[in-house]
Amino acid sequence: MPTPARPTPLAAALHRTPWHAALLLALSLGAASAGAAPLSIEEAQLRLADKSGTLRAARLHREARELEAQATRSLSLPQVNATVMYSKLERDYEVDVSPVTGKLNQAVGVIGGATGIKLPQLPSTVEYQYKNEGVRPIVGFNWPLFTGGKISATQDLATARTAEASAEERHAGEALTTQLVKTYYGLLLAEHAVAVRTAVAAALTRHLHQAERFEKTGMIARADRLHAQVAYDEAQRNLFKAQDERALAQIALNRMLVSAQDVSPSSPLFVRSKPLEPIETWAQHGLAAHPGLALLDAKRQQTAQLETIARSALMPEVFAFGTYQFNKEVLTPVEPDWVVGVGLRFTLFDRIDRGSMIAASQRQSAGLAAYTEQARDDISTLIDKRWREVEQARQRYLLLESSIALADENVKLRESGFREGLSTSLDLVDARLALSRAQIDRAQAARDYVVALAELLEASGQSERFAEYAQHADLRIERPTPVTVTQP
């Protein structure tokens, strides 16, 4: 048979002194944030931009693309090369001198016949060995004069890739901003839940203690005291669950902001009592500024430049060239000191089908155009959905005000009635649970509002305006403070 788990010191305190247990639970909420670093949502955004590995990678990728684009700016200038070579040459020449020596040999023969002296004949060929050894410093240049648009297309391609990287960086930043809002205000919601659950636990602790006294004096039945005990136990379970959820939310925010100590949100949950701008305004801005559309536009520009590069392969290339030899002592008799000229190069046969490459680029452009149209429809639909979610959360928050006021008044009446014997324990517990649900629902509505607002801003390409909306909100739920409970 398994051994039952031993209760923690806090759980043991709950059964020894109920009112003191609630005080310990309340103090634990304050201890969770005692060593925390207060951070507003604006400061959290700045820290995220500095610490996020995703943003750093996107920023470095964009900088790399910018450097690549910068590297292509001088493609239309001549390429100058300096070469230094050491060479050793040796060649044997055989020169045919028979046209000259033939006549001389005839003359020598005539003279020899006349004088009776045998004279030697001249050779018909002369052998000569040429040797050359030394250092050859050479400067040469190659200057493209006409490439069929290949150079300008390559430069525009690099610029489009830079625009794509910038759009990816912005898209990553906006997505992380939304995630930060969810995590940041999720911790605030968890703290509100802990505060409400702590207040409920404290109230039900007092109620249980009061019910125990009333049972001893015979004012209430044992069933009423047992009902108070069950409500108390359930309140403790709900409190422990809320504390665990708050701890997980704290860990998530700490890790997202790469903080060694607990981050304490100082910006409260908020709601704007007035509706947002019309959907049409958001849709227009989204279709003009969404980073996803900017990314698709950059890809479309790339395919257009790739098509231009593919077409340039069907055209001839015109180029100027030249070389200059600095060490003339090592030149062969037939080598010039310098050479300049203009060349024409045309590819007659290429192993890559240039027509298919052009057609492939055209297909990519058509595919991107279709995908862009679909993306515009999706963005419009998403903006409509997010706008309505913001409005629903706003209305839910406003409508919960009356529920909280009613529930709070009902708790006061039930507490007074229970003390006077006019209300049962069940009535009081139900009233307190109704109040706690309304309070948590209102905090949840505020959290849903800020998250939906962040998602709407992301969908319309305006995530940088979140802090502006937070500053101008007229309804705020301040961060809860630990509840202090005294013995009744």
Number of helical (H) and strand (E) elements in the chain, helices listed first: 12, 8
Do both 372 and 321 map to the same domain?
A: no
Q: How far does CA 21 lie from the centroid of its chain?
A: 46
Choosing from 345, 362, 395, the residue where a domain stops is: 345
Please, are residues 225 and 425 in contact by the beta-carbon 8 Å criterion?
yes
Would you say the C-alpha torsion 239, 245, 248, 250 has a positive or negative sign? negative
Range of the domain at 127: 79-146+314-345
CATH code of 302's domain: 1.20.1600.10
- Total tally of structural domains belonging to the chain: 2
Same domain, 198 and 261: yes
Q: Residues 340, 378: one domain?
A: no
Residue 407's pLDDT is 83
Residue 119 lies in a domain: yes
Looking at the whole model, is its pTM more than 0.85?
no
Q: What is the pLDDT of residue 114?
A: 64
103 and 159 fall within a common domain? no
For residues 359 and 407, membership in a common domain is answered with yes
- Determine the pLDDT at residue 247: 95
2 in a structural domain: no
Is 181 within a domain? yes
Q: What is the pLDDT of residue 91?
A: 77
Q: What is the pLDDT of residue 112?
A: 63
Are residues 244 and 124 part of one domain?
Answer: no
Rg of the chain (C-alpha set)? 44
Domain endpoint, select from 328, 345, 362: 345
For position 433, what pLDDT does the model report?
Answer: 83
Name the strand (E) or helix (H) holding 342. Answer: strand 338-345
Could you tell me if 461 and 290 are in contact, meaning their C-beta atoms sit under 8 angstroms apart?
yes
Tell me: do 265 and 390 sit in the same domain: yes
Each residue's pLDDT expressed in tens, for the chain with a length of 488 residues: 334 333 333 333 333 333 344 444 444 444 444 456 689 999 999 999 999 999 999 999 999 999 999 999 999 999 999 999 898 888 777 777 677 676 676 666 666 666 666 666 667 777 777 788 889 899 999 999 999 999 999 999 999 999 999 999 999 999 999 999 999 999 999 999 999 989 888 888 888 888 888 888 887 788 878 888 898 898 899 999 999 999 999 999 999 999 999 999 999 999 999 999 999 999 999 999 999 999 999 999 999 999 999 999 889 999 999 999 998 888 877 788 899 999 999 888 888 888 888 999 899 999 999 999 999 999 999 999 999 999 999 999 999 988 888 888 888 888 788 777 666 667 777 888 888 888 899 999 999 999 999 999 999 999 999 999 999 999 998 877 655 433 33
Buried b (16+ CB within 10 A) or exposed e, 455-486: bbbbbbbbbeebbebbeebebebebbebbebe
Are 172 and 212 contained in the same domain?
Answer: yes
